[in-house]
Structure 1
Amino acid sequence: MNKLIKLGWKETENQEVNMEIIARVVTVQKNSYRVTDGSMEYQAHVSGRFLNEAVSSLDFPAVGDWVEVQKLTDEKKAVIKRVLPRKSQFVRQAAGEVTVAQIVAANMDTVLIVNSLNHDLNLRRLERYILSTYDSGATPVVVLTKKDACSQAEVQSAIAQVDEISIGVPVVAVSSVTGEGLEELMEYLPAGHTVALLGSSGVGKSTLVNTLLGEEVQETKGIREADSKGRHTTTHREMFMLPNGSLIIDTPGMRELQLWEGESAMDTTFQDVEQYASECRFTDCKHETEPGCRVKEALKNGKLTEERFQSYLKLQRELAYEKRKQDQKAQLEEKNRWKQISKNQKQKYKQRM
């Protein structure tokens, strides 16, 4: 049990499982996994039965997952039999045209949303990450990197802008070069705590991991000076243990965070807009030409920016669109499933005849 506690297992977790066969996923590379039980690391793959019973991509192991395994100790290999229920999971729409969910990290307590203090600071993108973090079940913290490359006035201006759209979310400015802000950041990384680092390419996630670990474990590259755009360095998801006993999950940079779900987290992420909307004269107010619209009033007197409100509307539309796509996909899958069942039944009938 002590070995698993060091890996982030909470004593409030499911106590009915056999602790001797529990391990945690620390690396995912396509269909290959690396797991640890606190004493030894194993290269792992899912069992044939697991593959047959998996219904969707969400069923497969992700970094941070607790899994039941069959250990082949002499070979340092393991077979993953089952994924234990997750207490949190950061899910996004996978890149591409196909409607597929992708788990970025699981069972994290906190998500560090990393952005750099250069002209790539994007408030609308931060709103997306905050929304997805709340929806994941974890707590968001915004980390602004490369503090050493900016003046004090620029840093304060950036923090003020982020504070306006991240209501109630801690914002920490750090420098991996000078070490500024790292002590404050460590307050959100206590021993046994699991943290996921999320953000675009080139914002300094891997550099931050190296700095916190005190050694070069992740490859890093600079950004293009012309536009401050990052280059992909981390190619897979991996969990590391920091010297103080906290666990940190580094993830590949995302060019764009496509939402999967988040409808239930809109009121937390956009609590300012939701508050104004709740005070409108009409409960079905569209915030267009209706009299007594508190949203339009807030926009007019500057208490709410047009950019913030338009982002709110855009994310609502996007979530509604994704929900429709997922419903259509689920209906098609159910139809195909029954077609296959009918086909199998006909084949069995012919064999009996």
Structure 2
Amino acid sequence: MKLEDLRYNDTLEKFRIEHDLNNLEIGRVTSEHRERYTVQTIKGEFQAEITGNIRFTAKSREDFPAVGDWVALTTNDFDFAIIHNILPRFSIIKRQAVGQFGEVQIIATNINYAFIIQAVDNNFNINRLERYLTICNSSNINSIIVLTKTDLIDEHRINEILDRIKTRIKNTPIIPISNITKNGYERINSCIEQGKTYCMLGSSGVGKSTLLNNLSGKSLMRTDEISQSTNKGKHVTSHRQLIVLENGGILIDTPGMREIGIADTERGLETTFDRIVQLSNNCKFKDCTHTIEKGCAILEAIKNGELEKDSYENYLKIESEKKHFESTIEEKRKKDKAFGKMVKNYKKNINRKK
């Protein structure tokens, strides 16, 4: 396999030369298992660990390798490697780490498109779709909504769901499919371009692993039978994994996510809810909270049926999470700065005593 097959490009090669990494090999991280990584190089596949320097200097989880990363490494004859550097990323899909405010979890890096996958059974949830869109928009990643299990409902119900999504989510392609009948597969295959990287996002049991197996034509991911009582599949994908398809497209499967905490410090929220942001510019008062004020353009749009109340409430909830995340990040920065100053002063005092 050539590095170009994994989308290595001139920009990455320029970085390698400019940073004097000529004595190191280049590879792309294809899977991650608790800080052990599988890396694909032109020599083949290697199991890898990071150097102590990367671990020591890392300020956050974003300083560690992730699936999709390009890395500079040394290899040996025992299929083992040491990762010395992470090459620049052009995109990062991340969420707030579960139970750890102010910390992020990287889902995948260097992604061109995200397949946001949701089943059309009783667990269908537009609010969740908007959350996934927000974390993708934060990194300027194009999204494609994939609705699975369409064989479980009739065409009328499918059209109802499509209409509901289109009312709230604009300019995002939607592809209904069935992993059983393969309806919709032709359209998905037409979306996958050679050399582009696609990340599959969704909850457990929505059919991501089955979709990956079907698209690749191989049993790459284990799948379990659907429960007859709940129509849910069991959680079987335990790690992130990068796969190169026969047509040259690259797919990254991810474990199902129960929580999609927002780690948005960019404009992902504003992009997802651009209609609400536009309406807010027409409010009578500049400091309008969009809750009780007369002359609020958003409340007026809800009253007139121009804006769904559920979408507005979801926006408020995500916005609150974003503000809390940003304030937590700022608080951590202040603490780190204070700690760094304390260490610096301690070293000065030690040197004076000497």
Q: Structure 1: which amino acid aligns with 2:91?
A: S
Worse-superposed segment, 35-44 or 305-314: 35-44
Secondary structure in 1 aligned to 2:16? coil
CA shift in 2, pair 1:223/1:347, >3 Å: farther
Question: 2:88 aligned with 1:89, yes or no?
Answer: no
State the distance in 2 between where 1:228 and 1:331 align.
48
The corresponding residue for 2:4 is 5
State the distance in 1 between where 2:318 and 2:15 align.
40
Contact residue 148 and residue 177 of structure 1 kept, 8 A: yes
Worse-superposed segment, 318-327 or 46-55: 46-55
1:52 to 49, 53, 56: 56
The corresponding residue for 2:279 is 276
Contact residue 15 and residue 87 of structure 2 kept, 8 A: no
State the distance in 1 between where 2:214 and 2:43 align.
25
The corresponding residue for 2:194 is 191
Aligned-pair distance for 1:179?
Answer: 1.2
Aligned Cα root-mean-square deviation (Å) = 1.9
Contact residue 111 and residue 139 of structure 1 kept, 8 A: yes
The corresponding residue for 2:152 is 149
Secondary structure in 2 aligned to 1:197? strand
Q: Structure 1: which amino acid aligns with 2:53?
A: R
Contact residue 237 and residue 251 of structure 1 kept, 8 A: yes
The corresponding residue for 2:38 is 34
Aligned-pair distance for 1:286?
Answer: 2.5
CA deviation profile, 1:314-352 (whole Å, cap 9, x unmatched): 1111111111111112211222222233333434444x3
1:107 to 106, 110, 129: 110
CA deviation profile, 1:281-328 (whole Å, cap 9, x unmatched): 333333344443321221112111111111111111111111111111
Aligned-pair distance for 1:227?
Answer: 4.2
The corresponding residue for 2:289 is 286
Segments of structure 1 that go 5 or more residues without pairing to the other structure are none
Contact residue 47 and residue 81 of structure 1 kept, 8 A: yes
State the distance in 2 between where 1:156 and 1:308 align.
20
1:175 to 171, 174, 178: 178
Q: Structure 2: which amino acid aligns with 1:100?
A: E
Q: Structure 1: which amino acid aligns with 2:136?
A: T
Aligned-pair distance for 1:238?
Answer: 0.7
Question: 2:118 aligned with 1:119, yes or no?
Answer: no
Worse-superposed segment, 201-210 or 220-229: 220-229
1:166 to 164, 169, 175: 169
Aligned-pair distance for 1:263?
Answer: 4.8
CA shift in 2, pair 1:221/1:31, >3 Å: same
Tell me the TM-score normalised to structure 1 length.
Answer: 0.93
The corresponding residue for 2:25 is 21
State the distance in 2 between where 1:212 and 1:237 align.
17
Matches within 5 A, 1:310-329: 310-329=313-332
Q: Structure 2: which amino acid aligns with 1:138?
A: I
Aligned-pair distance for 1:119?
Answer: 0.9
The corresponding residue for 1:300 is 303
Q: Structure 1: which amino acid aligns with 2:198?
A: V
State the distance in 1 between where 2:265 and 2:172 align.
17
State the distance in 1 between where 2:346 and 2:177 align.
60
Matches within 5 A, 1:324-339: 324-339=327-342
Worse-superposed segment, 45-54 or 82-91: 45-54
State the distance in 2 between where 1:224 and 1:348 align.
67
The corresponding residue for 1:343 is 346
CA shift in 2, pair 1:193/1:29, >3 Å: same
State the distance in 1 between where 2:351 and 2:82 align.
33
Worse-superposed segment, 118-127 or 330-339: 330-339
CA shift in 2, pair 1:262/1:51, >3 Å: closer
